Chain A
Amino acid sequence: MATDLTQQGLGRSRQPHSGLAGPGAPSARHGVRGGLARRGPAQSLEGGLGWFSIGLGAAAVAAPRLVCWLSGTRSPTLMRLVGARELVAGIGILTQRDRTPWMWSRVVGDTFDLAALSVAFTRGSRRGRAGFALAAVAGVAALDVLAAVRLTGSTTGRALPAVSGQTDIYLERSVTVSKSPEECYRFWRSFENLPRFMRSLESVRHLDERRSHWVARGPMAMRLEWISQITADRPGEEVAWRTLDDSGAAHAGSVRFEPAPAGRGTIVRVSLHYSPLGGALGAGLVRLLGHDPQSSIREDLRRFKQVMETGEIPTTHGQPTGRRSLLGRVTRQWGLTS
């Protein structure tokens, strides 16, 4: 429902496939550059709020009494806790690949602060300052909700009108591998190798010369299947494909293998083209690639390079460690690997 509304609001047709002209189309080249460079207004809003968290948090931890006095509240201990909370949220927003939960943690924090300030405002002796603080927090809370909703929208594939004026997303990443274009091509073209380095892929099966069946797993037990058809296949140079059915993963993609200068191996260039506004059609893929699709692709390419050059993917999973604190365990969940 939400999808429909947004699409109407934007006045777009329900034709998510319209842009999927396949890689190499002029629009793709243009879009790729845009995708690499752009940091939309929404991202700077989150960044701003992250830094705000850190500033406020540092002040509340370092000078709780002063901040209490300024905000018309009473408990420096509570203020320290608020400060610690702000620091954690700020660091989360600024450093984590998926900022969404951290933005929401700010919203929850705002609710708490508003409640505490309301008490100070209605009962306290420093009503003037509490009232001012209340108004300020309410304003910040509104920004937090806005940022959090936008982020949530972008991760689940719902529309984000403020982020981009365009419907389609073009991504391109590359990596240099010390192997010949032919070796890279051969490994990649055997699609059943792909799950070795593409983290969210579970399996790829060749159906016939041109078609293959893909199974992927995403966050929260999500499972996606689709059938891809090869649209270009030039040995040692390029493989391109596009999805055939509307399984929720509609996309077109290509991988090109270009000899790097002076015998420095091969530049492997992947581009993907999909449509986040495609409602059910593109939503699955959007969730699969996560909040930061550029990084997901980069990490997959990094693992491709590792497999090609070293025959394995370096890991620390399963090595001994001392006792991990809660923080340590959470941090590892964020993507650190031991």
Chain B
Amino acid sequence: MKANIWYGREQLRVENVPDPKILNPRDAIVRITSTAICGSDLHIYDGYIPGMLPGDILGHEFMGEVVEVGPEVKNLKVGDRVVNPFPISCGACFFCQQSLYSLCENSNPNAWLAEKLWGHSPAGLFGYSHLLGGYAGGQAQFARIPFADVGPVKVPEDLSDEQVLFLSDVFPTGYMAAEQCNIRPGDTVAVWGCGPVGLFAIKSARLLGAERVIAIDRFPARLRKASQWADAETLNYEQVDVAQALEVMTGGRGPDACIDAVGMEGHAHGVFGTYDRLKQALMLDTDRPTALRQAITACRNGGTVSVPGVYGGFLDKIPFGAIVNRALTVRSGQTHVQRYLKPLLELIQKGSIDPSFVTTHRLRLEDAPRGYRMFRDKQDSCIKVVLKPWADVPTVDADQVQESGRILH
């Protein structure tokens, strides 16, 4: 099969590798029909995720058709159309039983390695470093899904791939980020980052009853999506002083909840920005927590800072004093995707939300390296890239592939 393979920082190649096989009784194999590039993949692409090895297959947002099931998988059969959640979870351990799926105790074969860095190990993830299991990812034509009786959700035929694909990660991630804010009537929620995660967080905050949502980014196309799709007020941090603007907008008190949907590669101008970049480049620091610092500082007393943005290691100059003295609640985590699959699928079926809204680019799997570059550099107003692993097979009209690589709909 073809797969998108990581060979080092900014080095991706789509190559032929052997097809995956069933390795354990609870495995299944899917033929992937759609797979997406995530902001988390960009951290790998830029070389900030430790524990990657050249030759790793990337990708954790995918869906497809079941082509083989192991003897212990009773709930799926060949031919089922499924979306797969990005954490690998056994369904039986202490954490899985509390629906804390991304903390599964049994799915990381390299748990000892994660324990060295973080003290304890979370769940294994698809295509996300050997620290998190070293599982082959889903930017490929086929994938092997461990614990397939727990993860994948069957999706109805009348919904298109793109309406359901983002159940694999970014929709539940944005939703959990908003849910963690414990939104009450009248609340204002500020969201740093209007990538797919930020946009889903903004939309979800609306669905969960936020009075106002304030979206912060610097790319006009992304800010426009936020205001069109979720009626958010927007702040371009290159044009206004965010801290001051938030204070004025919230009557001097600050937003009731702040969401950091930016993560470890926060962008910033000025002294702090240069300082973080330098430290990260010299490997003195693992992360650039620009947005997190701002979110903590801006949040109202006793408010919640929700952090779906991914951080990897040790963060510098985090105003912990503000957290203690102003009694802030900080909540974070890799998303417990399995917990949200059914309820969010229902929202899609009811028409409360159409996730395909975030997709801007549809490319063939072979174009993955270009897709990464475009998404990383936010070229061509790119917000979300969906890859089609079988696009050069006659079922998709090759004429639809334009020069720019964008398939029109």
Contact = CB atoms under 8 A, between A and B. Distances in A.
A316 B135 contact: yes
A321 B5 CA distance: 8
B134 interface: yes
B130 A336 contact: yes
Contacts, number: 121
Contact of B57 (A320, A336, A337): A320
B23 A322 contact: no
A139 B400 CA distance: 70
A97 B110 CA distance: 13
B34 interface: no
Contact of A316 (B90, B136, B147): B136
B376 interface: no
B138 interface: no
B36 interface: no
Centre residue among B25, B55, B57, B110 by max chain A CB count within 10 A: B55
Nearest to B147: A310
Interface stretch (B111-119, B244-252, B261-269, B329-337): B111-119
Contacts of A322: 3, 5-7, 13, 15, 17, 54-57
Interface in B84-112: 88, 90, 92-94, 97, 105-112
Contacts of B72: 311-312
B1 A298 contact: no
Given A264-B94, A322-B17, A305 B134 contact: no
B380 interface: no
A313 B144 CA distance: 15
B136 A310 contact: no
A267 B134 CA distance: 28
A338 B54 CA distance: 12
B147 A321 contact: no
A3 interface: no
A287 B331 CA distance: 45
Interface in B9-28: 13, 15, 17-21, 23-26
Contacts of A298: 112
A328 B133 CA distance: 15
Contacts of B113: 336
B57 A321 contact: yes
Interface residues of A, number: 37
Contacts of B159: none
Contacts of A331: 53, 130
Given A318-B23, A320-B20, A322-B54, A178 B92 contact: yes
Interface string B124-138: 100000100111100
B110 A337 contact: yes
B151 interface: no
Given A309-B92, A322-B7, A322-B57, A338 B13 contact: no
A337 B134 contact: yes
Nearest to B95: A178
A320 B108 contact: no
Contacts of A327: 53-54
Contacts of A265: 94
Instruction: Among A305, A331, A336, find the residue whose CB has the most chain B CB atoms closer than 10 A.
Output: A336
Contacts of A313: 24, 109
Interface string A285-327: 0000000000100110010011001111111111111111101
Contacts of B56: 321-322
B198 interface: no
Nearest to B27: A312
B172 to A, nearest CB: 22
A309 B107 CA distance: 11
Nearest to A325: B54
A95 interface: yes
Interface string A188-223: 000000000000000000000000000000000000
A155 B110 CA distance: 23
Nearest to B4: A322
Contact of A328 (B13, B20, B55): B55
Main secondary structure of the interface of B (DSSP, over half): loop
Interface in A3-50: none
A176 interface: yes
B308 interface: no
A315 B136 contact: no
Q: How large is the interface on B (under 10, 10 to 19, 20 to 34, 35 or more residues)?
A: 35 or more
A324 B54 CA distance: 6
B134 A310 contact: no
B55 A295 contact: no
Contacts of B53: 324-325, 327-328, 331-332, 336
B90 A310 contact: yes
A176 B54 contact: no
Contacts of A310: 26, 90, 92-93, 106, 147
Contacts of A302: 111
Contacts of B133: 314, 316
Contact of B55 (A299, A312, A318, A325): A325
Interface in B350-377: none
Contacts of B7: 322
Contacts of A332: 53
Contacts of A328: 53-55
Given A319-B136, A321-B55, A336-B110, A312 B17 contact: no
A318 B146 CA distance: 13
A309 B90 contact: yes
B55 A323 contact: yes
A160 to B, nearest CB: 24
B18 A312 contact: no
A178 B91 CA distance: 11
Candidate in A176, A315, A316 with the most chain B CB atoms within 10 angstroms = A316
A302 B120 CA distance: 13
A319 B110 contact: no
Given A322-B3, A323-B55, A325-B55, A317 B23 contact: yes
28 contacts: A178-B92, A178-B97, A302-B111, A306-B90, A309-B93, A310-B106, A312-B25, A312-B72, A314-B109, A315-B24, A316-B109, A318-B23, A319-B20, A319-B23, A320-B1, A322-B6, A322-B7, A322-B15, A322-B17, A322-B57, A325-B53, A325-B54, A327-B54, A332-B53, A336-B130, A337-B134, A338-B130, A338-B134
7 A-B pairs with the lowest CB-CB distances in the bound complex, closest first: A322-B5, A322-B55, A320-B17, A310-B90, A338-B134, A324-B55, A328-B53
Interface of B: 1, 3, 5-7, 13, 15, 17-21, 23-26, 53-57, 72, 88, 90, 92-94, 97, 105-113, 116, 124, 130, 133-136, 140, 144, 146-147
Given A314-B88, A315-B23, A322-B7, 7 more contacts: A264-B94, A310-B106, A316-B23, A316-B135, A321-B55, A324-B55, A337-B110
